Amino acid sequence: MAKTAVYPGSFDPVTLGHLDLIQRAAGLFDHVVVGVLVNSEKKSPLFSLEDRVIMLRDVCRGIPGVTVESFEGLLVDFVRSKGDAVIIRGLRELMDFDMELQMAQVNRIASRITRSENDGTETVSEIETLFLPTDPKFSHVSSSVVREYARYQVPLRDFVPENVLRVMIEKGIVH
């Protein structure tokens, strides 16, 4: 079993659901690397990369074995740079499953290709994805709901950690 898990995402912003998953993963692995995607082509983020990383580091402080890094490019390359690591993703509901399954399968295939191309060897080493079910109390929580609710000033106390709420108030996103 790999000792390192990479938990990738956009984290725009980190939610209580993300935090729950990070804490549970930290109980399963020696090291959890939270990987923050630098920029997703399809989204214009609410928070800059720097802010997303700062907020994550703040909420992860005190959770043993957890570090936060940003990454650019292919997830499998980032995971490979961490040695023998697996990817973890949360599943909130059935709707997540189709996309997550496809992503896991694509990443597994991509990891085979990148390994043999980069190494010049025939060694096949596949990167696996493990799914953790979201705690039901967070199954309705997502960053996109947070961003949408923020536009309408819906209270976000049950959606994001306190420090994120504080930053949102400081930036005038919510009041």
Based on the residue annotation, tell me whether 143 is a catalytic residue of this protein.
yes
Residue 171 annotated in active site: no
Q: Give the tokens for residue 97.
A: 């499953």
Under a CB-based contact definition with an 8 Å cutoff, are residues 47 and 20 in contact?
no
**Residue with CB nearest ligand PNS?**
9
User: Is 20 buried (19+), middle (13-18) or exposed (0-12) by CB count in 10 A?
Assistant: middle
Give the Cα separation of 32 and 65 in Å (integer).
Answer: 6
Catalog residues that contact ligand PNS under the rule CB under 6 A.
8-10, 37, 40, 74-75, 103, 106-107
Compare residues 8 and 161 and give the one whose CB is closer to ligand PNS: 8
| Residue 175 C-beta: closest distance to ligand PNS, Å | 26
Q: Does the active-site annotation cover 108?
A: no
CA distance 89 to 83: 18
Nearer to ligand PNS by C-beta: 40 or 125?
40
Minimal distance in Å, beta carbon 99 to ligand PNS? 8
Active site residues: 18, 42, 92, 143
